[in-house]
């Protein structure tokens, strides 16, 4: 996504379910033009947006060739200099196994020009599958049966 005319408080938002998953983490690429917003915060909500928690702040690298920028970014060529990863330990308790999780990337600085743009791409929400309750019991039972046969 690419957007311009940024003011403080403008945001990108994603909505998803984390049902059946824990250890939630977030990874994304973000950049800006020379006049785009320089700072964002990443907020999450598990109650439909009634309350929000900030999980990270991001200083956005300018999409420009060195020496003024971090290197050229585009939607087809990956450049790790624009990647931000927010590991699971930064997320508050209660994010895992939710029917609804909202994520917002909120501009905390305005663009210095109306044409100033920000871009976000390659958003990944990762988690670890929570085993079904019966699966752990079956593994334990299999261990008992295996032990019994050895004896």
Residue 151 has pLDDT above 50, yes or no: no
Which one, of 36, 33, 42, 53, lies nearest residue 13 by Cα?
42
Min mean pLDDT across 9-18, 88-97, 109-118, 138-147 is at 138-147
Q: Are 10 and 105 in contact (CB under 8 A)?
A: no
Residue 150 has pLDDT above 50, yes or no: no
**Region 123-137 average pLDDT:** 79
Question: Which pLDDT does position 134 carry in this prediction?
Answer: 57
pLDDT tens-digit map of 53-109: 999 999 998 888 776 666 788 777 788 888 999 998 888 888 999 999 999 999 999
Tell if the pTM clears 0.85, that is, is over it: no
pLDDT tens-digit map of 14-34: 999 999 999 999 999 999 999
**Region 124-132 average pLDDT:** 90
Query: Which tokens sit at 67?
Result: 């020496």
Scan for tokens 């994010």, then name that residue: 95
The domain that holds 143 is classified in CATH as: 2.60.120
Strands of 75-132 (E only): list them: 83-86, 101-107, 117-129
Provide the domain limits for residue 81: 2-150
Number of domains making up the chain: 1
Residue 1 has pLDDT above 80, yes or no: yes
């Amino acid at each position: 996504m690419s957007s311009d005319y940024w003011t403080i408080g403008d945001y990108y938002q994603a909505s998803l379910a984390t049902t059946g998953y824990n250890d939630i983490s977030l990874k994304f690429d973000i950049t800006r033009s020379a006049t785009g917003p320089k700072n964002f915060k990443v907020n999450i909500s598990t109650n439909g947006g009634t309350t929000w928690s900030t999980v990270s702040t991001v200083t956005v690298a300018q999409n420009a060739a060195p020496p003024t920028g971090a290197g050229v970014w585009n939607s087809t060529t990956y450049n790790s200099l624009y990647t931000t990863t927010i590991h699971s330990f930064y997320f508050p308790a209660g994010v895992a196994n939710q029917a609804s999780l909202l994520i917002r990337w909120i501009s905390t600085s305005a663009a210095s020009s109306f044409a100033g743009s920000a871009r976000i791409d390659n958003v990944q929400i990762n988690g670890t599958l929570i085993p079904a309750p019966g699966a752990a019991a079956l593994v334990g039972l299999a261990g008992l049966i295996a032990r019994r046969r050895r004896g």
